Structure 1
Amino acid sequence: MRFVPLRAAGRSRLRRATIVASALVLGSGMAVVAATQASAATGCSVNYQVTNQWPGGFGASIAITNLGDPISSWTLKWTWPSGQTVQSGWSGNFSQSGSTETVTSLSYNGNIATGATVSGIGFNGSWTGSNTNPTSFTLNGVTCNGSVGSSPTPTRTTASPTPTRTTASPTPTRTTTSPTPTSTGSPCTTNCPAHVDNPYAGAKGYVNPEWQAEANAESGGSRVSNNPTGVWLDRIAAIAGANGAMGLRAHLDQALAERSGSTPEYIQFVIYDLPGRDCAALASNGELGPNDIGRYESEYIDPIAAIMSDSKYSSLRIINIIEIDSLPNLVTNTNGTAGATDMCNTMLQNGNYVKGIQYALNKLHAISNAYNYIDAGHHAWLGWDSNFGPAADLFASTARGTTAGMASVDGFITDTANYSALQEPYFNINSTVGGQSVRQSTWVDWNNYVDELSFAQAFRTKLVSEGFSSGLGMLIDTSRDGWGGPNRPTAASTSTDMNTFVNQSRIDKRIHAGNWCNQSGAGLGERPRANPGPAGIDAYVWIKPPGESDGSSSAISNDEGKGFDRMCDPTYGGNARNGNNMSGALPNAPLSGHWFSAQFQQLMANAYPPLS
């Protein structure tokens, strides 16, 4: 098969009642507000939750439930008990006067029917001294106490008014803390840093302390744990920090704290939550439905841009890897191709992949110290003529549709979260066996490329011919393409049989180039570094953190929107996309993005260059 779909890796309705209890969830504790009357036409409850906290800063989410008559717009107010300050908010217009915070509705979330809830409102803020939660909210002037009435003043009983919080930086081995923010959250407007040609050049890479702790906990993991890896913002909750993990601002603060001297620091984020995400695979399906473009823009991209544009972070080089597994799927998995899926056809027809990426480019390119690299699949996905040209055309038309045009894109990245070899040292596309081209072998299957480096360089040339800048840079994710260990060939095969020659000579030992999930035998590849030598390559990077699963090997119930893909099942016999071959996946794998110790140990054992 000539293309591969790359892996990446409750609302409750409240009823009117004579006695209603409402909970304002506050961090890991809660303040319970009890109301004793429910007779008039207005009423509300508010769920306020601290989702992420770090020294001097925190993130929070808000959900409003309307217990009275329908409303068409809303104004939410509360008083900060400890002088906190909102730095950036989303899904509402935030303003602050002294200790009073006011949030007003936007055009799409102003209507709240009786018993309905509007959620997705959130912000990042700063605090000094303490971060006591607010305990009283008003909606359109009515106190939100969980009852229906005309601004009642009920008797309250408060439980755990100052709860113990779990911070968003749970890693016990990390001792460096971020300084207390002094920024007001405004974007950089004067003396902003120059936008350099290659953000990796001359810069130090940010090491994610959460990944580093996982690696250090493994035997021998300290040999690789100081390498920079990508931070995946794979759902809305990840912005503030999901399930106790560090959020976007916490990572940026940590990167600032790690800076030393005049050496620039870069930090890499994967922007990865498009509507209908991963339309040709199941393991990393996302939280947003195919038509949720409004939520993608307002609840995902807007808050990311608001945080990244804070002038506090203007000294950092913020590198954004834009939407893995998106535009390439529109080329190869639609319109009756062998790998076509209904979801990919839907995303082609509604245009939301293109619209979403254009929106992200517009917002992020406006930040002078941000750099945008778009996913370009890999050689075993787009390397055929039937995919190569159309993909370049689609990327070019997408960029032209942005405000800044081609300038909104700094480069492209290949092989993200995949296993294609950086270079095949013992044969190339021009090699012949018995007068026949290796393109005729079952492994190469008439592809024009046999490895990532040759593909990335050729694709860059094609993209420049489409109108992209001659300074366009390419990244190659080498996190799992090493293919070392005892099974790595040391010389070209001497066989005169075409398939035998290729199979004995190739270092990529997958059963089929269409296999993408937790591959058996894979190893760590080239370590991250800038300007590695080949023309047009900005850097080798580890965007996929080694040791994080591509998907579960069996169905696992979860609240992350992730499905079970049989390509992650080691017993699966394959499909048209991998030539009906075995999946080659490791057993006992957890959900995508979760730590997979057995895979990490394998990657270290088969690293190439080998680990010392």
Structure 2
Amino acid sequence: MPRLIHALAALAVLGLTAGCGSAPEAGRAPVAGGASTRTDAGARSPFWVDPRGPAARQIELWRRQGRAADAASLRRIAREPVALWPAGETDPGPAVGSAIGSATREGRTALFVAYDIPHRDCGQHSAGGAADADAYRRWIGRFADALGDGRALVVLEPDAVAHIVDGCTPGEYHDERERLLADAVVRLKRQPRTKVYLDAGNPSWIPDSGRLVGPLERAGVADADGFSLNVSNFQTDAASKEYGVGLSRRLGGKHFVVDTSRNGNGPLEGVWCNPPGRALGTPPTTATGEPALDAYLWIKRPGESDGECGGGPAAGRWWPEYALELTRGPAG
């Protein structure tokens, strides 16, 4: 049972705010630069790489400090496209618009996560979200307006549906949440080149995917391009693919995407928050070998903390040493 740690608002990167926003803590369980960069990623995927993301900035700092080997290792993160999580509770327009503009100039697709649902994360690490339903609709509207007619892929509200199913989100909020999600799908899909994937948790969280079907349907998955799995979690590609194919069948063939940002060594049993010994997973690609699986994506930014646990900083904060540890794994 995963949750989200993507408290993005104030992602500090080397004491600065990271580019266009940042990531959070999704997918956790209750218990348990530059031109050459874009060329590398372009060989594998159609997605835009932020040349000024936190890993790219860290590389610059480490090079100045003489840490050339560590800087070279971190390039495994900096060269890949990673989703942007525009800060909730503030206008997402500037961050979204900036990324879309850059991606459009390069002829690429920008990756985003919309993460501002009211009563977010059950008041835990990534607590917050819009003050009420009207505030959320305004936030989504600004988000969508900024997308314009650029090419975009949006993962919608990690953990929001799964928290309905596991009961973490109180029952009195369920109907409103499903309506807000359904409305958000419709609003985002008004943008002509935006794809939307409604989050569906991960295989270890709701093992019986049949329990997700009703909530996903009420939350508008029929109008979305599909659903997302494993956001900010560590489940293997094989486990996520098998689970996704089964859920797809139950949803009439809906497609899905999988977060592979940190799953190179799979999960560490009983530890969802900054588990040690993890590794980068499959680099972002649309070549998945499974017709229903549209892409492996890095939705959680590798190197951002899941929360104040295991020696980590606050959720969504850049943690360079953890990022470096991820690059030393076998994947990618």
Q: TM-score interval w.r.t. the shorter chain?
A: 0.7 to 0.9
Match of 1:270 in 2: 113
Query: For the Cα contact (< 8 Å) 1:215–1:225, is it kept in 2?
Result: no
| CA displacement at 1:356 relative to structure 2 | 1.6
Match of 1:538 in 2: 294
| CA displacement at 1:214 relative to structure 2 | 3.6
Match of 2:313 in 1: 590
Is the aligned partner of 1:376 residue 2:219? Answer: no
Match of 1:293 in 2: 133
- 2:289 match: secondary structure: coil
Q: Which has the higher strand share?
A: 1
| C-alpha distance in 2 between matches for 1:250 and 1:225 | 18
Amino acid at match of 1:551: G
Query: For the Cα contact (< 8 Å) 1:208–1:231, is it kept in 2?
Result: no
Q: 1:534 to 1:287 in 2, by over 3 A?
A: closer
| C-alpha distance in 1 between matches for 2:307 and 2:190 | 34
Amino acid at match of 2:191: I
Query: For the Cα contact (< 8 Å) 1:480–1:546, is it kept in 2?
Result: yes
- Mind listing any 5+ residue stretches in structure 2 that lack a counterpart? 7-15, 21-32, 36-41, 63-69
| C-alpha distance in 1 between matches for 2:91 and 2:262 | 24
Match of 2:176 in 1: 352
Match of 2:158 in 1: 324
| CA displacement at 1:249 relative to structure 2 | 1.1
Q: 1:552 to 1:409 in 2, by over 3 A?
A: same
| CA displacement at 1:203 relative to structure 2 | 6.0
Query: For the Cα contact (< 8 Å) 1:551–1:593, is it kept in 2?
Result: yes
| C-alpha distance in 2 between matches for 1:226 and 1:169 | 15
Task: Spell out, residue by residue over 1:96-143, the C-alpha distance to the aligned partner (whole angstroms, 9 max, x if none).
Answer: xxxxxxxxxxxxxxxxxxxxxxxxxxxxxxxxxxxxxxxxxxxxxxxx
Equivalent residues in 2 for 1:215-234, closer than 5 Å: 216-217=59-60, 219=70, 220-234=73-87
| C-alpha distance in 1 between matches for 2:121 and 2:327 | 28
Query: For the Cα contact (< 8 Å) 1:270–1:321, is it kept in 2?
Result: yes
| CA displacement at 1:593 relative to structure 2 | 1.3
Larger Rg: 1
Match of 2:48 in 1: 206
Given the two structures, how large is their TM-score scaled by the length of structure 2? 0.81
Q: 1:509 to 1:392 in 2, by over 3 A?
A: closer
Equivalent residues in 2 for 1:449-598, closer than 5 Å: 451-464=239-252, 470=253, 472-483=254-265, 508=266, 510-512=268-270, 515-553=271-309, 586-587=310-311, 589-598=312-321
User: For 1:303, which of 142, 150, 166 is the aligned residue?
Assistant: 142
Amino acid at match of 1:232: W
| C-alpha distance in 2 between matches for 1:419 and 1:509 | 5
| C-alpha distance in 1 between matches for 2:272 and 2:237 | 15
Match of 2:13 in 1: none
Amino acid at match of 2:210: G
| C-alpha distance in 2 between matches for 1:381 and 1:417 | 12
Match of 2:218 in 1: 397
Cα RMSD of the aligned pairs, angstroms, is 2.6
User: For 1:417, which of 232, 241, 246 is the aligned residue?
Assistant: 232
| C-alpha distance in 2 between matches for 1:266 and 1:596 | 27
Q: 1:369 to 1:397 in 2, by over 3 A?
A: same
Amino acid at match of 2:157: E
| C-alpha distance in 2 between matches for 1:283 and 1:301 | 22
| CA displacement at 1:547 relative to structure 2 | 0.6
| C-alpha distance in 1 between matches for 2:291 and 2:58 | 32
| CA displacement at 1:590 relative to structure 2 | 1.2
Amino acid at match of 1:324: P
Q: 1:168 to 1:421 in 2, by over 3 A?
A: closer
Task: Spell out, residue by residue over 1:329-363, the C-alpha distance to the aligned partner (whole angstroms, 9 max, x if none).
Answer: 11112xxxxxx4xx533422xx2211221121111
Query: For the Cα contact (< 8 Å) 1:323–1:374, is it kept in 2?
Result: yes
- Mind listing any 5+ residue stretches in structure 1 that lack a counterpart? 10-165, 176-199, 242-246, 260-264, 334-339, 401-405, 424-450, 465-469, 484-507, 554-585
Task: Spell out, residue by residue over 1:377-429, the C-alpha distance to the aligned partner (whole angstroms, 9 max, x if none).
Answer: 01001213xxx2121121113227xxxxx2x2101110001111223xxxxxx
| C-alpha distance in 2 between matches for 1:461 and 1:257 | 37
Q: Which has the higher helix share?
A: 2
- 1:319 match: secondary structure: strand
Q: 1:222 to 1:463 in 2, by over 3 A?
A: same
Q: 1:383 to 1:509 in 2, by over 3 A?
A: closer
Greater RCO (CA < 8 Å, at least 6 residues apart)? 2
| C-alpha distance in 2 between matches for 1:167 and 1:6 | 24
| C-alpha distance in 1 between matches for 2:303 and 2:130 | 26
| CA displacement at 1:8 relative to structure 2 | 3.8
| CA displacement at 1:535 relative to structure 2 | 3.6
Amino acid at match of 1:321: V
| C-alpha distance in 2 between matches for 1:520 and 1:287 | 29
| C-alpha distance in 1 between matches for 2:87 and 2:251 | 27
| CA displacement at 1:284 relative to structure 2 | 0.7
Match of 1:363 in 2: 187
| C-alpha distance in 2 between matches for 1:452 and 1:168 | 30
Q: How many pairs were matched up?
A: 294
Amino acid at match of 2:257: L
Q: 1:238 to 1:520 in 2, by over 3 A?
A: farther
Equivalent residues in 2 for 1:419-458, closer than 5 Å: 419-423=234-238, 451-458=239-246
| C-alpha distance in 2 between matches for 1:167 and 1:297 | 26
Q: 1:599 to 1:397 in 2, by over 3 A?
A: same
Given the two structures, how large is their TM-score scaled by the length of structure 1? 0.45
Q: 1:345 to 1:321 in 2, by over 3 A?
A: same
